[in-house]
Amino acid sequence: PASFSQTRLWHNGSIHFTPYTLQEPIYNMPFVYHLHHNHTLSIERLYHALQLIVIKHQSLHTSLLFDAEKNIVMQRIIDMNDKSRQLFTFFESTYETEEQLNEILQDEKRNPHLFDLARGLVFRCHIIYYKQISPNHRLSDKDILIFNFQHALFDFSSMNIFLHDLNQAYTTGQLLYHDSTNLRYLDYAVIEQQMSMTGASMFWLHVLYDCKLDQSLSLPFDRYRLANEHRIGNTTSISFDLGQDLSYSCLTYASSNNISLEHLAFAIYFIFLFKLTNGQTDLCIAMNINNNRYRDELKSIIGLFENVIPLRCQLDPHWCFPQLLEYVQEITTNSMKYSYFPLQRILNQHPHISRHAFLDTSLGFISYKSNNDSNTMMIGDSQLFLTSFSFNIDGDEMLSASDFFLSIYHDMNMNQLSCTINASLDLFNRDTVENISQQFHFILNQLSASIMHSQINQPLYEQSLILSNEQYLMQSLNNTQVSFSSALTCIHHEFVYQVVRHPQKLAVELDEQSLTYCELLYYVQVLSLTLLNEYRITPGEIVCQCVERSLSMVIGIMAIEMAGGVYCPLSPRDPQHRLHALTQQTQSRLVLVHYLTKTNFYHNIVSLDIDSVLNINDIDKNGLSSAVMKDEEIAYIIFTSGSTGTPKAVQVRHKNFIACIHSLAYINSFNKDDTVVQMTRCSFDIHVQEILGTLLVGGTLVMIHPGGTIDFKPLSNYRSMLMNQYLQPSVTDEEGELFVGGVGVFVGYLGRDDLTTKVLLEIDGQLFYRSGDLVTMDNNGLLHYQGRKDHQIKLHGQRIELGEIERCLLNTTSISTCVVMKWKDDHLVAYVQSSHINEKHLREHCQSHLPLHMIPSIFIILDKLPLNQNGKVDRKQLPSPDFSLPTSLSPDQSDTPLNQFEERILTIWCQVLHCNDNQISKTTSFFSVGGHSLLFIELYHHYQSVFNFDAHTLSIAPFLQQPTIFQHSQLLQTVTMNNGKTTQWHTLHISEGIASFAQERIFLDEQVRFSSDIAIYNELSTLQVVQGSLSITRLLQAFRYVLNKHKILRTSLLFNNDNSSLKQCITDIHKIFTITMDQTFENDNELRDIIYQTTINPNLFDLSTGHVFHAEILRHQISLNENNSNEFIMNSDVLLIAFHHAAFDRASRSIFFNDLCLAYNTNAISIENDESLQYIDYSVHERLIDMTTSRQFWYSQLEEYNLESRLLLSVDRHRLSNDHRSSSAFVTQISFGNEISQSFHMMYRSIIKK
């Protein structure tokens, strides 16, 4: 058998690397020599010596083959007595120039076909003469001598054995050895297979226990390789010297502490990986063992004695460097003791792992001597020098099986250290590798400085990879300091200042209602005095407000501020129980409401109807509020979702808010000339910025429905910092937590100093908010959001603490544990452990305690939640939610069949949800079949389009509160009864949708009824140029214009096997559409034949890609001979235009050709108005038409007709029931003549008159 090393090398070449690349794995090992000046070498004696060596070392005439039956790689020694066999290659050539020589040398290094493993040709000697082959058969100093080996039978250390024997054989003419007693490489391979190696096996099992061998280190990849993707194998290499000072520092530290330089290098490498992977502590990498001759009897054998072993470092970030070094010394020494244990056996200990990712990252340490003695050899009396073009032990010359390979070199003569990083171009860009090399050099300098300044005992996590340019980038990011001149300290002071500046300017508008700044101040004054005089609101007292979006909302907010109170918004959508809990938490004794929210609170809570106050005319309106406030006072609090189950109340000062608005105004985010749309709910803190911020800058506020965006770049007077888990700055493209400091940082959580301490940290004397957001910073200083470090999520624009939902569920006594997860960015899914509870009860409980956006879409009830080894819920093992099993809100009515109107609604649901209607009943909740708030908005817009109503007629709110088909039908029927006008069809701006009924029929015909050998739905038109010519360029432009305009001509038809539906998808195939020009004809017969073959060609179109239109120029041979230009369609040429019938009918011809002529004549390029109705829109609208009357008509027409019976025509043969139609037909024409034609015409006219 082959040795383990050979087998590994074989599989690297055949499995890891792609078979499709032009470059194959290269295992050539060329050693290139030239003679000392005036020295010569006998070619004849050299050849004889090489023969002796090959005879002695049987590995140099051994074949390597894969035995498919045994599924193993086998080696076989080539019989020396077979005279027809060639033992090795001896080749001679010449060169005259350096370029020619370099080409020859490159071929020796890169050509994978120089050797033939199957025939045992694994060694070659190539002599390159200068200008001509030597006539006296001697090698001179201008000639080149190359010994080249196939790596499968030769390793780097074998070269010393080879050179020793070569000198002896050349000098004496003989090579003494005992064939019967000398151990051969083949013997070693057999013994290796039979060794038990029990101790080594136990060692590696223990070392790699619970190691995640299949998980790659989190290196800063530029791209990722798919699980089944082959390696291209190309690498990029970056090399650099450490310099005298740094080398001296490392060498001195190693010698003074009595440790090997290799162990020091490994320790530094592990620190580097710890930092480079953003804090990974379990680091398992591959260590290459280049000379694994672990027994004395192996040291004289030529062969492949290499191995790869895992080196696992379980690093503690709180260790200091000496502790790590001691640990690395121990694990490396122990691993080297058992380095003879083959990698294959290590991998076989973990059969459940299919991909051994630890092999992707390697390291090596190589000591060498740089003097000339190590690069010279003697053959007889002749001295030869090894050239720089020779094979290098670090493997640079071969395709790497590792993705990231760091080699550290020690020049023992010069006492210099250098490094080389080889990285796979499959995964890394070269500039990324260059940056990594700079970071490695940087951490070496840090450690050196720590040694020099006696700071070597600092924790490892304090080491940094942040380069100087990255530090500058972070400083530039936070260069936000701006001075503002305003002396005003409170929000209401700023507002009054704007009223004085432009009292008659429009301040706020909602629907048909509006208030100027002066009018708004009047109403704010009225309400604030009521709060002060009647309800005795004191400075700093919290006043809650629960109102729908209205002018009263704006008046209430500003009145609370003017009265010296602290504004606290409550959402009208929250259940009564939650509203009560929040008011209790704030200890607020008053809630401002209006007529729509009066009943939302328990009777023991004091509420004040804002509108009732504003409607009273005899109130004292003189003077403003006399409340005295300071900028340090709290302006408002707002609740955020709480991880412990209790919402947290964030407190914001007047000065923080005013500074934030000034910063926004400074970057011109909004100003006095802007009209600001207010669309976020009051449960979002941004609504305060929209309302109060607009009024503070003197803008106009327009209140509409929710939505919005945010910008992640720091504002003026704000600072951003990216910190890792050890509160150390993160480097570019490394994930870190976002800390925000500056003028807008809030005070803390109301009544929760413990939480405030966790999230507000002082850094460099400035307060920072620990956001919990994980972000990266790119080279341009832009921040990119990556996710959350906790279980807080953002779902459809709302931040949600999953812990709050879990705590709510656990408050039900029948649940022992639960987990809530975000599913595919669209849904909340609750996993509940209980044996006696149902989903209906859980949903009702959540609806009474949580706001709508926090109610899970689906509840999965399990007897037991899966646990991991640590006893925690194993989230990866939780079952995926099945939205095809919907929740019915009224089980008693779920089986009732849908009426015609409800079926129309069901069709819209299926289109929005992209599902079939098999699992949806009239009482199914929209949110239990894959729906969420964004899809619900889309559903509402569909309702508006189909049933022709606006938000004033019927808002989205009642649809949300009643989310079933039955309830929606009740709401929509009130609209249709009040709206008698016909609904106009509009474009739906969709690119995917269900196929039309006509398309379904044609698709079914092609797939089922007719044979696929002949096309039946190719629609052809032929046009012949009879005068002048057509520009092909302009014609192509016109075609693309028409295809762009009529999207059906670039629409694909795809069958979904999961729900047995046919859908159409608009493609962009028009952008690459071309006119075919492959065929010519000489006469009409040839032309007719081409047209016929095109008509029946089943491969002319491809419905799956949207290729449903074809244009072709058929060149007449005469015009082709006269004009070879491809720029024009000439006289007698034919333009053939073809359509697939699924996208085109006969009535479409005039529309198509009118638009084509117009586009050609006007040189049209683009479509100005994309509001035109498309065929895909028609396909949707036709399914929403009320077809009750037509259905009844056709049912009555065909009620007694046997649709399965055929007409009894006089056929010559019958088709079997499962036979395809061939689609071949015989056509005959009948002419009636003038007399019969005339009689038909007269009959027709008489009927018309009647």
Q: Give residue-wise pLDDT tens across range 215-238.
A: 889 899 888 776 555 566 678 889
Q: What confidence category does residue 962 fall into, taking pLDDT thresholds of 50, 70 and 90?
A: confident
Distances in whole angstroms, Cα of residue 536 to Cα of each of 32, 588, 627, 629, 648:
98, 13, 11, 16, 27
Can you tell me the distance from the alpha carbon of 257 to that of 522, in angstroms, rounded to the nearest whole number? Answer: 82
Of the residues 844, 877, 910, which one is the last residue of a structural domain? Answer: 877
User: What pLDDT is attached to residue 713?
Assistant: 55
User: What pLDDT is attached to residue 20?
Assistant: 40
Q: What confidence category does residue 707 fall into, taking pLDDT thresholds of 50, 70 and 90?
A: very low
Higher pLDDT, 14 or 1030: 1030
Strand order in the sheet with 648-653: 607-609, 591-593, 542-546, 566-569, 634-640, 648-653, 748-749
Strands 542-546 and 566-569: parallel
Tokens of 802: 């999953």
Q: What confidence category does residue 759 fall into, taking pLDDT thresholds of 50, 70 and 90?
A: confident
104: region left, alpha or beta (phi > 0 left; psi from -120 to 50 alpha): alpha
Same domain flag for 270 and 291? yes
CATH of the domain at 551: 3.40.50.12780
Same domain flag for 526 and 646? yes
Q: Which residues does 597 contact at the CB level (< 8 Å), separation at least 6? A: 546, 547, 548, 572
Same domain flag for 459 and 505? no
Is residue 359 within 8 A of residue 368, CB to CB? The reply is no
User: What pLDDT is attached to residue 467?
Assistant: 79
User: Per-residue pLDDT for 785 more than 90?
Assistant: no
Q: Give residue-wise pLDDT tens across range 254-297.
A: 999 899 999 999 999 999 999 999 899 999 999 988 888 888 88
**What DSSP state is assigned to residue 402?**
-
Unique residue bearing structure tokens 């198509």 = 1152
Is residue 602 within 8 A of residue 761, CB to CB? The reply is no
Is residue 1091 within 8 A of residue 1140, CB to CB? The reply is no
- Residue 1178 counted as domain residue: yes
CATH of the domain at 1007: 3.30.559.10
Is residue 77 within 8 A of residue 136, CB to CB? The reply is no
Is residue 639 within 8 A of residue 649, CB to CB? The reply is yes
Q: Which of 682, 1017, 687 is nearest to 851 (CA)?
A: 682
Strands 766-777 and 648-653: unpaired
Q: Which of 1106, 1107, 1085 is nearest to 1097 (CA)?
A: 1107
Same domain flag for 1064 and 1094? yes
Q: Which of 603, 706, 250, 676 is nearest to 450 (CA)?
A: 250
Higher pLDDT, 282 or 937: 282
Same domain flag for 430 and 524? no
> How would you write 953-980 as a 3-class SS string?
CCCCHHHHHCCCHHHHHHHHHHHHHHCC
Can you tell me the distance from the alpha carbon of 50 to that of 30, in angstroms, rounded to the nearest whole number? Answer: 16
Q: What confidence category does residue 356 fall into, taking pLDDT thresholds of 50, 70 and 90?
A: confident
Can you tell me the distance from the alpha carbon of 632 to that of 225, in angstroms, rounded to the nearest whole number? Answer: 54
Can you tell me the distance from the alpha carbon of 728 to that of 739, in angstroms, rounded to the nearest whole number? Answer: 12
CA 1068 to chain centre: 23
User: What pLDDT is attached to residue 1167?
Assistant: 72
User: Per-residue pLDDT for 875 more than 80?
Assistant: yes
Number of domain units in the chain: 7
Interior angle at CA 153, CA 91 and CA 363, nearest 5 = 115
φ, ψ at 19 (rounded to 5°): -80, -5
φ, ψ at 867 (rounded to 5°): -115, 150
User: Per-residue pLDDT for 372 more than 60?
Assistant: no
Alpha-carbon dihedral of residues 132, 137, 138, 139, nearest 10 degrees?
50
Mean pLDDT of 173-180: 80
User: Per-residue pLDDT for 15 more than 70?
Assistant: no
- Residue 819 counted as domain residue: yes
User: Per-residue pLDDT for 391 more than 60?
Assistant: no
User: Per-residue pLDDT for 951 more than 70?
Assistant: no
User: What pLDDT is attached to residue 1249?
Assistant: 60
Mean pLDDT of 51-72: 91
Lowest mean pLDDT among 111-125, 195-209, 841-855, 1013-1027: 841-855
Same domain flag for 920 and 872? no
356-365, 878-887, 1033-1042 — which one is most confidently predicted on average? Answer: 1033-1042
User: Per-residue pLDDT for 944 more than 90?
Assistant: no
Q: Which residues does 1202 contact at the CB level (< 8 Å), separation at least 6? A: none
Same domain flag for 815 and 781? no
Q: Which residues does 439 contact at the CB level (< 8 Å), separation at least 6? A: 272, 275, 276, 465, 467, 731
User: Per-residue pLDDT for 1114 more than 50?
Assistant: yes
User: Per-residue pLDDT for 434 more than 80?
Assistant: yes
Interior angle at CA 468, CA 216 and CA 439, nearest 5 = 30
Tokens of 775: 């972000």
CATH of the domain at 941: 1.10.1200.10
Residue 181, amino acid: T
Range of the domain at 774: 718-788
Can you tell me the distance from the alpha carbon of 1009 to that of 981, in angstroms, rounded to the nearest whole number? Answer: 43
User: What pLDDT is attached to residue 226?
Assistant: 62
Is residue 388 within 8 A of residue 375, CB to CB? The reply is no
Q: Give residue-wise pLDDT tens across range 643-697.
A: 556 788 889 989 888 888 888 888 777 788 888 877 777 877 788 888 998 999 9
Mean pLDDT of 959-984: 71
Q: Which residues does 655 contact at the CB level (< 8 Å), separation at least 6? A: 489, 631, 632, 743
Same domain flag for 312 and 410? yes
User: What pLDDT is attached to residue 1152?
Assistant: 93
User: Per-residue pLDDT for 566 more than 90?
Assistant: yes
User: Per-residue pLDDT for 397 more than 70?
Assistant: no
Q: Which residues of 1132-1171 are buried (b: 16+ CB within 10 A; e: fewer)?
A: bbbbbbbbbbbbbeeebeeebeebbeebbeeebeeeeeee
Lowest mean pLDDT among 208-212, 616-620, 1107-1111, 1219-1223: 616-620
Q: Which ranges in 851-992 belong to alpha helices (H)?
A: 900-913, 933-947, 957-961, 965-978
Lowest mean pLDDT among 884-893, 999-1008, 1097-1106: 884-893
**What DSSP state is assigned to residue 176?**
-
485-494, 705-714, 960-969 — which one is most confidently predicted on average? Answer: 960-969
Higher pLDDT, 1237 or 1142: 1142
- Provide the 10 A C-beta neighbour count for residue 201: 16
Q: What confidence category does residue 1150 fall into, taking pLDDT thresholds of 50, 70 and 90?
A: confident
Unique residue bearing structure tokens 């590696």 = 204
- Provide the 10 A C-beta neighbour count for residue 757: 11
User: What pLDDT is attached to residue 1047?
Assistant: 94
Q: What confidence category does residue 1117 fall into, taking pLDDT thresholds of 50, 70 and 90?
A: confident
User: What pLDDT is attached to residue 644?
Assistant: 58
Mean pLDDT of 765-788: 82
Q: Give residue-wise pLDDT tens across range 316-346.
A: 999 999 999 999 999 999 999 999 999 999 9
CATH of the domain at 817: 3.30.300.30
- Residue 1235 counted as domain residue: no
583 CB-contact burial (10 Å; exposed 0-12 / middle 13-18 / buried 19+): buried
- Residue 1007 counted as domain residue: yes
Q: Which of 731, 802, 742 is nearest to 772 (CA)?
A: 802
- Residue 312 counted as domain residue: yes
Higher pLDDT, 1060 or 103: 103
Can you tell me the distance from the alpha carbon of 464 to that of 845, in angstroms, rounded to the nearest whole number? Answer: 50
Can you tell me the distance from the alpha carbon of 1166 to that of 1162, in angstroms, rounded to the nearest whole number? Answer: 12
User: What pLDDT is attached to residue 172?
Assistant: 93
Lowest mean pLDDT among 16-20, 278-282, 1121-1125: 16-20
CATH of the domain at 739: 2.30.38.10
Q: Give residue-wise pLDDT tens across range 721-742.
A: 888 888 888 878 788 889 988 7
Mean pLDDT of 540-557: 92
Same domain flag for 535 and 682? yes
Mean pLDDT of 611-623: 63
Can you tell me the distance from the alpha carbon of 216 to that of 195, in angstroms, rounded to the nearest whole number? Answer: 32
Residue 782, amino acid: L
- Residue 1225 counted as domain residue: no
Tokens of 1228: 């005959």
150-154, 477-481, 715-719 — which one is most confidently predicted on average? Answer: 150-154
Longest dimension (CA), the chain: 129
Alpha-carbon dihedral of residues 938, 941, 943, 948, nearest 10 degrees?
-170
Same domain flag for 1052 and 1183? yes
Tokens of 186: 């083949």
167-176, 386-395, 505-514 — which one is most confidently predicted on average? Answer: 167-176
- Bridge partners (DSSP) listed for residue 383: 378
Strands 144-150 and 123-130: antiparallel
Q: What confidence category does residue 203 fall into, taking pLDDT thresholds of 50, 70 and 90?
A: very high
Helices (H), strands (E): how many in the chain? 35, 46
Is residue 546 within 8 A of residue 600, CB to CB? The reply is yes
Same domain flag for 618 and 724? no
Q: Which residues does 192 contact at the CB level (< 8 Å), separation at least 6? A: 3, 4, 342
Of the residues 173, 191, 209, which one is the last residue of a structural domain? Answer: 191
The sign of the dihedral angle between the CA atoms of 334, 336, 342, 348 is positive
User: Per-residue pLDDT for 1221 more than 90?
Assistant: no
Same domain flag for 1037 and 945? no
Give 1072-1126 as a DSSP string. Answer: G---B---EESSHHHHHHHHHHHHH-TTS-BGGGTB-EEEEEEEEHHHHHH---S
Of the residues 755, 788, 821, which one is the last residue of a structural domain? Answer: 788
Give 1125-1143 as a DSSP string. Answer: -SSEE-TT-EEEEEEEGGG
User: What pLDDT is attached to residue 229?
Assistant: 58
User: What pLDDT is attached to residue 511?
Assistant: 73
User: What pLDDT is attached to residue 851?
Assistant: 78
Q: What confidence category does residue 13 fall into, taking pLDDT thresholds of 50, 70 and 90?
A: low
Interior angle at CA 936, CA 931 and CA 940, nearest 5 = 145
Q: What is the residue-averaged pLDDT of the chain?
A: 83
- Residue 602 counted as domain residue: yes
User: Per-residue pLDDT for 591 more than 90?
Assistant: yes
Q: What confidence category does residue 981 fall into, taking pLDDT thresholds of 50, 70 and 90?
A: very low
**What DSSP state is assigned to residue 116?**
B
CATH of the domain at 422: 3.30.559.30
- Residue 306 counted as domain residue: yes
User: Per-residue pLDDT for 559 more than 90?
Assistant: yes
